[in-house]
A and B are shown apart, each in its own frame.
Chain A
Amino acid sequence: MLEEYMQSLGYKREQITLIKSSYPLNTYTESTLLYLMKTIVNYLRQNTFDNEDIIHITTTTPQIISKSIEDIKIKIEVLLKYGISKIDIFYMMKQYPYLMEMSNQRINNRYITLEELGFNNTQINNIFIHKTEVFNIDPSSIKRKYQYFQECGYKDNQIRSILESLPELWLISRAQITKKLEEYHSIGLQKEEIKKVTYYLPELFIYEKEDLKRKMSYLEEYGYSIKEIISIIRRVPIILKNYYLDTIKEKLNNLEGFDLSKEEIVILTTKNPYILLYPIEVIKENFNNLLENGFYHKEVIKMIKDTPLLIGYNKDNIKLKLQKYKELELQDYIKEHSNVLLYSYELIKKRKKYIKQNEWKDLFLTDQEFSKKYKKTRNDIMRG
């Protein structure tokens, strides 16, 4: 009867044998075991578990079959009290069936340990939901893992973020993590850069170093060299967040819409990687800003290539300068020296009174050049 029932659920012969021979189930009569099996199966089924889940849970921890439903409900109440939803609790049970075997004291102690390290309740729940095995790590090991990251130079908020985002790290040895950090050092990243990069993409701790390349594979296929990719990551590590990686393809395609070749886009975005983070609307606005102020498309392309920072620069600021420089008939000068559009208008405004008409280009001289020609230092100009 028991075997027929279990086979009807999908248990294999060896799984049935495993359960029947486990303690304390091996002390029960067949009818008692059948009753207990049906009780636990019905309860789990009522709570969204399917047969595959039930087999996984009961073969991983057969002792659960001997638990009363009341006991299981009490365990669930403990976790609900910490703010974990019932759905997540059942997910945790599927992921880590031993959860139901844990004492409430152990669960409470782990919460306390993580709170002492500064994790808030949401962070702790996220850790336990995604890696329930962490409940099984003793408090001193939890603290040692945290200290290890402190010794590596990570700040507390970074450590908490990393360990919450990738709870697997709690289970990985310090030696393995150290090895990973050394691997990234070997591909050219310095210590501070590795910290930044792993903060934004903690998965790098478990990726093979080739995985970093694969993560950026779209950029490689597009035409970026590994050196250029590392250079981008080094300066703008936030780009490793999936939020940005998911949209890189679209952004590069949009940049091609400005009649830029792939090679030109690679050069532009390597000089100014922030371009890959701006929403395309901002890029279009800046581009149109220049077109609307009297520059032809080809001229705008040249200006952007000469001064990549123009993309993403505050458009109102650029607009103001374009209008002012237009009044001084400096359009042609700007085409060849687009970097002057970045110069602080405060300085330009103050220099203007010292310069004769038709010599407006002198607005953009360096301090040394200006001082030589007009006998006025920066101090004279700024405080005059």
Chain B
Amino acid sequence: MDALIRYGLSIEEIKNMINSNDELNTVSDKNINKIIEILEGLGCSKEQIKNIMNTNPFLISRELDELKKLLVKLLDFGLEDLQIVIDTNPFILNIDYKEIDQIYKQKKKEGLTEEEIKDYFYYESYKMI
């Protein structure tokens, strides 16, 4: 939890995060720092990362490999500003990469163009939980 405090989250925020996701009690600072590193690598600002972790404390106990697979999948769709997608809907980071793939294929099946699918991810991803 020191990693979260060092990052600027308040004790109250961390307490709420633990009450939402009790698995945080067993997550190492090393894991938390790796997640922060990944999000920074995508272009997320400090404020965005705090927003993401506060809103979605379940991200912090996610398996790193699964998270990376998801992010690679989203990048493959051509979503250049992934930090916008994640900042809008932090819960997208909990979804399995295979499910994201299914959503993409479903949208294609519905006849959406590539640009429309990107818009869906940018502006309607809140429908994906």
- Pairwise interchain contact B16-A235, C-beta atoms closer than 8 A: no
- Pairwise interchain contact B55-A312, C-beta atoms closer than 8 A: yes
A-contacting 9-mer, from B34-42, B43-51, B68-76, B103-111: B43-51
Q: Is A206 an interface residue (CB 8 A)?
A: no
- Pairwise interchain contact A342-B89, C-beta atoms closer than 8 A: yes
Of chain A, the residue at the smallest CB distance from B15 is A279
Query: CA of A274 to CA of B57 in the docked complex: distance in angstroms?
Result: 10
Query: CA of A282 to CA of B87 in the docked complex: distance in angstroms?
Result: 19
- Pairwise interchain contact A317-B55, C-beta atoms closer than 8 A: yes
In the complex, how many angstroms separate the beta carbon of A288 from the nearest chain B beta carbon?
15
- Pairwise interchain contact A307-B55, C-beta atoms closer than 8 A: no
Query: CA of A234 to CA of B126 in the docked complex: distance in angstroms?
Result: 17
Q: Is B67 an interface residue (CB 8 A)?
A: no
| Given the contacts A314-B50, A314-B51, A344-B83, A277 and B123 also touching, CB distance less than 8 Å | no
Query: CA of A312 to CA of B23 in the docked complex: distance in angstroms?
Result: 18
Q: Is B101 an interface residue (CB 8 A)?
A: no
- Pairwise interchain contact B129-A271, C-beta atoms closer than 8 A: yes
| Given the contacts A238-B21, A274-B129, A378-B80, A342 and B16 also touching, CB distance less than 8 Å | no
Q: Is B81 an interface residue (CB 8 A)?
A: yes
- Pairwise interchain contact B119-A368, C-beta atoms closer than 8 A: yes
Of chain B, the residue at the smallest CB distance from A273 is B129
Q: Is A278 an interface residue (CB 8 A)?
A: yes
- Pairwise interchain contact A344-B84, C-beta atoms closer than 8 A: yes
In the complex, how many angstroms separate the beta carbon of B99 from the nearest chain A beta carbon?
9
Number of interface residues of A (CB under 8 A): 37
- Pairwise interchain contact B84-A347, C-beta atoms closer than 8 A: yes
- Pairwise interchain contact A309-B81, C-beta atoms closer than 8 A: no
| Given the contacts A272-B129, A367-B122, A282 and B58 also touching, CB distance less than 8 Å | no
Q: Is A210 an interface residue (CB 8 A)?
A: no
| Given the contacts A309-B91, A366-B119, A368-B115, A342 and B126 also touching, CB distance less than 8 Å | yes
Number of interface residues of B (CB under 8 A): 35
**Residues in A neighbouring B123, C-beta threshold 8 A:** 343, 364, 366
Q: Is A379 an interface residue (CB 8 A)?
A: yes
Q: Is A95 an interface residue (CB 8 A)?
A: no
Q: Is B22 an interface residue (CB 8 A)?
A: yes
Query: CA of A274 to CA of B88 in the docked complex: distance in angstroms?
Result: 16
**Among A192, A235, A368, A378, which residue has its beta carbon within 8 angstroms of that of B129?**
A235
Q: Interface 1/0s, chain A 357-377, versus B by CB < 8 A?
A: 000000010111000000000
In the complex, how many angstroms separate the beta carbon of B67 from the nearest chain A beta carbon?
14
Q: Is B29 an interface residue (CB 8 A)?
A: no
- Pairwise interchain contact B21-A277, C-beta atoms closer than 8 A: yes
| Given the contacts A314-B50, A378-B81, A279 and B20 also touching, CB distance less than 8 Å | yes
Q: Is A14 an interface residue (CB 8 A)?
A: no
In the complex, how many angstroms separate the beta carbon of B59 from the nearest chain A beta carbon?
11
Of chain B, the residue at the smallest CB distance from A339 is B126
Q: Is A218 an interface residue (CB 8 A)?
A: no
Q: Interface 1/0s, chain A 154-188, versus B by CB < 8 A?
A: 01000000000000000000000000000000000
- Pairwise interchain contact B23-A238, C-beta atoms closer than 8 A: yes
- Pairwise interchain contact B115-A243, C-beta atoms closer than 8 A: no
**Residues in A neighbouring B20, C-beta threshold 8 A:** 274, 277-279, 282, 312
**Residues in A neighbouring B58, C-beta threshold 8 A:** 236, 238, 274, 277
Q: Interface 1/0s, chain B 4-33, versus A by CB < 8 A?
A: 000000000000100111110000000000
Query: CA of A364 to CA of B122 in the docked complex: distance in angstroms?
Result: 11
- Pairwise interchain contact B48-A192, C-beta atoms closer than 8 A: no
Q: Interface 1/0s, chain A 323-366, versus B by CB < 8 A?
A: 00000000000000001001111110000000000000000101
In the complex, how many angstroms separate the beta carbon of A43 from the nearest chain B beta carbon?
40
Query: CA of A235 to CA of B63 in the docked complex: distance in angstroms?
Result: 15
- Pairwise interchain contact A343-B88, C-beta atoms closer than 8 A: yes
What are 16 A-B pairs with beta-carbon distances under 8 A?
Answer: A155-B63, A235-B129, A271-B129, A272-B129, A274-B91, A277-B21, A278-B16, A309-B91, A312-B55, A314-B50, A344-B84, A344-B87, A347-B84, A364-B123, A366-B123, A367-B122
Given pairs A277-B21, A368-B115, 14 additional interface contacts (CB within 8 A): A273-B129, A274-B58, A278-B16, A309-B89, A309-B126, A313-B55, A317-B51, A317-B55, A343-B88, A346-B84, A347-B84, A367-B115, A368-B116, A378-B81
Residues on A facing B (Cβ under 8 Å): 155, 192, 235-236, 238, 241, 243, 271-274, 277-279, 281-282, 307, 309, 312-314, 316-317, 339, 342-347, 364, 366-368, 378-379, 382
Residues on B facing A (Cβ under 8 Å): 16, 19-23, 45, 48, 50-51, 54-56, 58, 63, 80-81, 83-84, 87-89, 91, 94, 96, 98, 115-116, 118-119, 122-124, 126, 129
